[in-house]
Amino acid sequence: MKELRQILRKEFTHIFRDRITLFLVLAIPIMLVLLFGFTISTDIHHATISVLDLANDSQSKTLVENITASGYFEVVSYPKSESEIDHDFKDKNIKLAIIIPNNFEEQLTTDKFVTIQIISDVSDMNVASILNNYVKAILHDFTDEYNGTATVPIELCTQMMYNPEANSVYMFVPGIITLIMIIVTALMSSITLAREVETGTMRMLLIAPVKKAWVVVGKVIPYMILSFISTITIIVISVVVFQMPIKGSVWLLLLVCVIFMLTSAAFGTAISSLVKTQIDAMMITMMGLFLPTALLSGFLFPIDNMPYFFQILANVFPGKWFIIAIKDVMLKGSGFMDIWLYMLILFLMAAVLMTLSLIRLDKRR
Amino acid sequence: MAAITAQNIKKSYGHIHALKGVSFDVREGEVFGVVGPDGAGKSTLFNILTTLLLPDSGTATVLEHDLLRDYLEIRKNIGYLPGTFSLYPDLSVEENLIFFATMYKSSIPDNMPLIKPIWEQLLPFKKRPAGKLSGGMKQKLALCCALIHKPTLLFLDEPTTGVDPVSRKEFWEILGTIKKQGISVVVSTPYMDEATLCDRIALLQEGEFIRMDSPKAIVNDFQGELVSLRTTDIFKLLKLMNDCPLTCTFYPYGENLHVIFYEPMETVLPPFEAFLQKNDISYDKLTQITPTIEDCFIEIVRTKN
């Protein structure tokens, strides 16, 4: 145990003497979560639009009011004709134009059927489709209100569960936690172990009568602690600043994080056991673990939309399982019995990789 | 009892045969020098004997433990100073020593008598990061770390390479005191002058021991007559020597030219001096000298080829 303590102390000394790395490791998570939360948000508020109200009757006015009141749109112009709309797109940079037809109220009452035209700026496809959906939702509510409860036409009712406002912070936070844990635990562990090999200190440790498991564990634990601090920081920011809910147990959430930390550390150790230099360790961790995790974990792109091959490949990277597990705990309020399988998968990955790398480390080449 | 017995150790890296079958004994308590140029296989041999690398074939016992089977026992009892600086550059002198002491289940106070002569020299720098020490100080610290668990056998892989002459001398003085403690030392060096400080040396050339004996015996076995001459224009002389009618070996040695003749001095010297005068070579001194290890090494390599 004395050896393990000494290795831990040494590793912390390395960390605290390398101020820049320490700062980056602690500051990057905060920067990332704020960046994703505030700027790289897919929620749109106050999108500029034009409304061409050809009817100008009481119902059309109510509809326009509903649109303005939603908070998603800001009507910057009321053009008089369709040709003016074209100018609005160019001059006023509107994202969307809505054209309410003549005799809006009349058609609504007699035909029970009205066509409203939406013209979108699709140069940014994501924005256009989100705004379209907003308009559809508002129109949906509007017709509901108008029809009242008396008439019950067949209608499609989509209820958004777990993230009713489709708040993108809820999607990003699990992804950021995953990436940060991979950077701080997997990347830093693989680099710090590769550094011992590169500087030759590893061979001094190998011929010393100290347990090899302690060498690895002692070097990895400090980065797990750093990573845990970062994770808690991210969670606190997302709850306090972005009102992200934690519907499930906080302890279960932390347990999942700790297990994923072990998995990341095991991946880092395994990578370091294959390489001889820090730069190789960094490249392999970034290209072989970080990027696939970002792309295949379901954080940026839905796994269900991927080609079959990539859907299978995604299972190999721990990020997928972790993201499912923490989303379930935070947003659905799932309990241990709902997510034990994901935790088991992560734990088994950690156990197998750690064992293999220890065997490889202890073997003479 | 032998500290090391090695039989026919071979190691290849792909097509490169780093060791082509090396056999030798190291006696207990002696300083055994492995002398050879860069790339001769010194570090490979050290890595095998310190249990870091597996040989392709061959057997060895180190401190009476089998190299392949009982390598964990060997590790407990050997000290190793690798050929490249292998301490933590961002940790201070003291932190490095404490760290390695703990890794070897030892402590500084326990071993103070052994490391005292070196530790005293390091003391003024004990708070300095190891990476900021001079070359000589780095090696003294590395030696300190290698000695911290009272090994009975010490492996020093080129401990004085890149170290200034004064520190080199100090380092060898320290080795003298270590030897007095009964510790066997295997040391490699590319410097021939250091070879004479060993009890026995092995000359390693392209993965083979071409000669193994005490430095004195190697010098005594030198076949031939060695003369040294100093001239102002060594390049001209070197070029000219190719036309020398006498059977001889010649090579520059520092500022001088060394020539080995294979006949008695009385018969070769007059025609040689005549040859030099005829070609208008002015030289200060032409003296017969006793060969150094380097002269012997050059001659042994030459006769072998």
CA-based nearest distance A268→chain B, Å: 21
The answer on B159 and B140 residing in a single domain is: yes
A13 is written with which tokens? 């000394």
Closest residue on chain B to A8 (Cα)? B99
Question: Residue A209: CB partners within 8 Å, gap ≥ 6?
Answer: B72, B75, B76, B103, B104, B105
Q: Report the residue from A2, A199, A365 with minimal CB separation from B53.
A: A365
DSSP chain B: -EEEEEEEEEEEETTEEEEEEEEEEEETT-EEEEE--TTSSHHHHHHHHTTSS--SEEEEEETTEETTTSHHHHHHHEEEE-SS--S-TTSBHHHHHHHHHHHTT--TGGGHHHHHHHHHHHGGGTTSBGGGS-HHHHHHHHHHHHHTT--SEEEEESTTTT--HHHHHHHHHHHHHHHHTT-EEEEEES-HHHHTTSSEEEEEETTEEEEEE-HHHHHHT--SEEEEEEES-HHHHHHHHTT-SS-EEEEEETTEEEEEESS-HHHHHHHHHHHHHHTT--EEEEEE----HHHHHHHHHHHH-
pLDDT mean across residues, chain A: 84
Domain final position from B173, B199, B219: B219
Q: What is the CATH number for B290?
A: 3.30.70.270
pLDDT by residue (tens digit) across A35-55?
877 766 556 778 888 888 888
Of A164, A332, A215, residue with least CA distance to B103: A215
Domain final position from B187, B219, B251: B219
pLDDT given at position A148: 61
pLDDT given at position A98: 87
The answer on B288 and B183 residing in a single domain is: no
Rounded mean pLDDT, A2-26: 90
- The stretches of A188-249 forming alpha helices (DSSP H) are 188-199, 201-206, 212-240
CA-based nearest distance A255→chain B, Å: 32
pLDDT by residue (tens digit) across A77-126?
888 888 888 888 888 888 888 888 888 888 877 777 778 888 888 777 77
A184 is written with which tokens? 């701080």
Rounded Cα gap, residues B191 and B198, in angstroms: 12
Rounded Cα gap, residues B267 and B261, in angstroms: 10
Closest residue on chain A to B90 (Cα)? A14
pLDDT given at position A168: 65
Cα–Cα–Cα angle for B89, B91, B92, rounded to 5 degrees: 105
Rounded Cα gap, residues B93 and B101, in angstroms: 12
Confidence label for B199 from pLDDT (cuts 50, 70 and 90): very high
The answer on B163 and B41 residing in a single domain is: yes
Domains by residue range for chain A, with CATH: 2-40+167-362 (no CATH), 47-147 (3.40.1710.10)
Question: Chain A partners of B54 at a C-beta cutoff of 8 Å?
Answer: 364-365
Closest residue on chain B to A11 (Cα)? B91
Domain final position from B166, B194, B219: B219
Pick the range with the lowest mean pLDDT from A127-141, A338-352, B107-121, B139-153.
A127-141
Rounded mean pLDDT, B24-36: 91
The answer on B196 and B250 residing in a single domain is: no
Confidence label for A163 from pLDDT (cuts 50, 70 and 90): low
**B86–A208 CB contact, under 8 Å:** no
Quote the ipTM score: 0.81
Confidence label for A156 from pLDDT (cuts 50, 70 and 90): very low
Which of the two residues, A112 and A29, has the higher pLDDT score? A29
Closest residue on chain A to B89 (Cα)? A199
Question: Chain A partners of B52 at a C-beta cutoff of 8 Å?
Answer: 203, 206-207, 364
Question: Chain B partners of A21 at a C-beta cutoff of 8 Å?
Answer: none
A18, A19, A204: best to mutate for the B interface, most B CBs within 10 A = A204
Has residue B246 got a pLDDT over 80?
A: yes
The answer on B294 and B234 residing in a single domain is: yes
E strands along chain A, which residues?
Answer: 47-53, 73-77, 96-100, 117-120
B136 is written with which tokens? 């000589």
pLDDT by residue (tens digit) across B52-75?
889 999 999 999 999 888 888 888
Rounded Cα gap, residues A50 and A57, in angstroms: 17
What is the Cα B252 distance to its own chain's centre? 21
CA-based nearest distance A230→chain B, Å: 25
A203-216 core/surface letters (b: 16 or more CB in 10 A; e: else): bbbbbbebebebbb
A142: helix, coil or strand? helix
Closest residue on chain B to A215 (Cα)? B103
The answer on B274 and B146 residing in a single domain is: no
Question: Residue A141: CB partners within 8 Å, gap ≥ 6?
Answer: A66
Rounded mean pLDDT, A328-348: 91
The answer on B243 and B201 residing in a single domain is: no
* Domain with B139 in it: 2-219
pTM score: 0.77
The answer on B83 and B66 residing in a single domain is: yes
A14, A21, A201: best to mutate for the B interface, most B CBs within 10 A = A201
The answer on B8 and B37 residing in a single domain is: yes
Rounded Cα gap, residues B81 and A200, in angstroms: 11
Q: What is the CATH number for B135?
A: 3.40.50.300
Confidence label for A153 from pLDDT (cuts 50, 70 and 90): very low
